[in-house]
Amino acid sequence: MRANKLGIEGNKEEFAALLAFAGDDTTYGVIRFRVNAIGKLVVTATDGKRAVEHTANAEDHEPGEWAFDRTFIEALRRQTDKGETVAVIVAGAKKAKAIFRGVETTAERGEFQCPATQFSTQITMDAVHETVTGKDSERLRGSWFAFNPAFIADLDKVTKAANGCPCTLFPPSDSGAMVHFQVSSDRGVWRGCFKPTLVVAPGEEAETDEPDPDAPGSTTQDLPSSAPPKLELTNQLGTAKKKKAKASKEPKKETKSRKPKTPPAAADDAETTAEAG
């Protein structure tokens, strides 16, 4: 997201991310926006159990704070198209509206009025900020690892297989080690591992723009060297069976019967007998 003199701009993916953490009731179903005096846009959402905060640049936008009901943000998400249109929120003290325009142009494509901009909640932006960042910034310098969030869907399947047992993750000992997980139930124990994604720094981009073969869910990631080469063994057995089957299918060559050769000694005896007669 970003803010400038035209308003606060957001796209479909950004609105969806905020809605994922916002609650459904009147207490938590509010998404707050703030433009502070140092030119930063801060957006927060929480459902009381989880929270998310987004910060971005705010150029030439007047400082202020606004709260919008999730139904308004949901309407903006539905009206924007991925990679094609964005919504620009123009907010005042008592009313606000959203203007839809193309990504590459400022031409307006529509407008949507927000019914209200003030909501009475007990959750403040400062409270969400403290929850997300912690009172001491050093709290974010403990054990950490990065991974592809799409892999969460696979972990969710393991959790469901274990009757909803929470999944425990064990951080790797170093950047090249595996992340291990464990889930248990009365039907057994699930254990597994995956390689984390190498990043430049916590919260930063990956070290390479090329697809990471070691990313979670990748079929090319290497397992520890102690894993038995079952696939290679199966291939060898399969090849041996094929060769044996091929040999059995080949027709046997018929061998012609040959008359036994007369030994040299017997031939000499026959000639001597003939002369004597």
Tally helices (H) and strands (E) across the chain: 6, 12
Structure pTM? 0.66
Give the CATH superfamily of 2-139: DNA Polymerase III, subunit A, domain 2 (3.10.150.10)
| Alpha-carbon span 50 to 48, nearest angstrom | 6
- pLDDT band with cut points at 50, 70 and 90 for residue 214: low
Domains of the chain, by residue range, sit at: 2-139, 143-237
Please state the separation of Cα 36 from the chain's center in Å.
Answer: 33
Backbone φ, ψ for residue 13 (5° rounding): -65, -40
The alpha carbon dihedral of 96, 101, 103, 106 has a sign of negative
- pLDDT band with cut points at 50, 70 and 90 for residue 135: low
DSSP assignment of 178-247 equals PEEEEEEETTEEEEEEEPPPPBSSTTS-BS-SS--TTSTT-TTPPPPTTS--HHHHHHHHHHHHHHHHHH
What pLDDT sits at residue 151? 82
Read off the pLDDT of residues 61-87 as tens digits, 9 standing for 90 and up: 999 999 998 999 999 999 999 989 999
Q: What is the mean pLDDT of residues 167-180?
A: 86
